[in-house]
Chain A
């Protein structure tokens, strides 16, 4: 076989291998992409509020309806904002984690009592424990809309400048608490 013919044969084999490998690679790529998609939670909508200043609000306290609390009072410290309601089942599930967190005295936890009856809410806290430094009442859900709340419970981590740094949708799991929320709080507390 001449050198030219050998070269031509080689290039034709390579072409054949490429024709076989290219679709295979495309197929594997697409499979990985779609397989990963199976494990994504469509209910977890990324919030556009992360990295933005938390809405400033003034709302009555759950324990003293005649007192208005302003979120400006929390500037300068890292705090956790937990949206809950007595009618919300998953809130009951995550509640012990917040009781534990409160016992550590690491960070103030503020509650937003979302579209609830004050009587039921107070009873709920008496029964399950009250980890909240204070709870504000969002009777008509407007504060919830400002925070982009669409499913209770939701939990926000807000830094010293009042910027939302993290949002957890749905009940906080022990993993999320230990691996994400607490480390983030510690890190934010170190920042000026």
Chain B
């Protein structure tokens, strides 16, 4: 049971590490409190303003790299928000607007990186590591079991044990 518990512990630690990694790279869905108001919707149409805000949250500000353009007040973020707003007004779809941004600034501008050849490691690396860790843990536990398994007694040992038991009875 002890061995099994240890294995569970190792697996749990690996899972936690993978989860932490995934969280680090995950898109910031909701802006931290206090930042939500920085992107002032300047349109009267609430639907467009909402779309603008949602798109802006997905786009990274390249000047202050840890903020989306919705949260940042850098000049470039203001300009990019204006681009988003104008393109919404021009009737372009969300994916067209995202394409416009990635054509100019690359995938880096996206908080959620697309799944493709160069990002495979980013997406599946943590799971691969988890698998490797589980494999190592399993091997270690299996090896330990082999070491601990009692070796059968040889004939000589059996005879000695019998003699000892017999002697015990005599005293």
On A, residues with C-beta under 8 Å from B are: 42-43, 45-49, 115, 140-142, 144-148, 150-151
B65 at the interface (CB under 8 A from A): yes
User: Is B75 touching A151 in the complex (CB atoms < 8 A)?
Assistant: no
B54 at the interface (CB under 8 A from A): no
User: Is A145 touching B104 in the complex (CB atoms < 8 A)?
Assistant: yes
User: Is A146 touching B104 in the complex (CB atoms < 8 A)?
Assistant: yes
Query: A145-B83, A150-B76 given as contacts; is B65 within 8 A of A42 (CB)?
Result: yes
User: Is B75 touching A141 in the complex (CB atoms < 8 A)?
Assistant: yes
On B, residues with C-beta under 8 Å from A are: 62-63, 65, 75-76, 79-80, 83, 102-108
A-B contact pairs, 12 of them (CB 8 A): A45-B106, A48-B103, A48-B105, A49-B103, A49-B104, A140-B79, A141-B75, A142-B79, A142-B83, A145-B79, A145-B83, A148-B105
Query: A150-B62, A150-B63, A151-B62 given as contacts; is B106 within 8 A of A47 (CB)?
Result: yes
User: Is A115 touching B75 in the complex (CB atoms < 8 A)?
Assistant: yes
3 cross-chain pairs, A with B, having the tightest CB-CB distances, nearest first: A150-B62, A148-B104, A48-B106
Closest to B66 in A: A42
A145 to B97, CA, bound (A): 13
B17 to chain A, nearest CB (A): 14
User: Is B62 touching A48 in the complex (CB atoms < 8 A)?
Assistant: no
A125 to B76, CA, bound (A): 24
User: Is B79 touching A141 in the complex (CB atoms < 8 A)?
Assistant: yes
Query: A150-B62, A150-B63, A151-B62 given as contacts; is B102 within 8 A of A48 (CB)?
Result: yes
Q: Specify which of A42, A115, A150 is in contact with B105 (CB 8 Å cutoff).
A: A150
A151 to B76, CA, bound (A): 9
Closest to A151 in B: B63
User: Is A45 touching B105 in the complex (CB atoms < 8 A)?
Assistant: yes
A157 to B59, CA, bound (A): 27
Closest to A147 in B: B104
Tell me which residues across on chain B come within 8 A of A49, comparing CB atoms: 103-104
Q: Tell which of B62, B63, B83, B104 has the most Cβ of chain A within 10 Å.
A: B104
A151 to B17, CA, bound (A): 35
Tell me which residues across on chain B come within 8 A of A141, comparing CB atoms: 75-76, 79
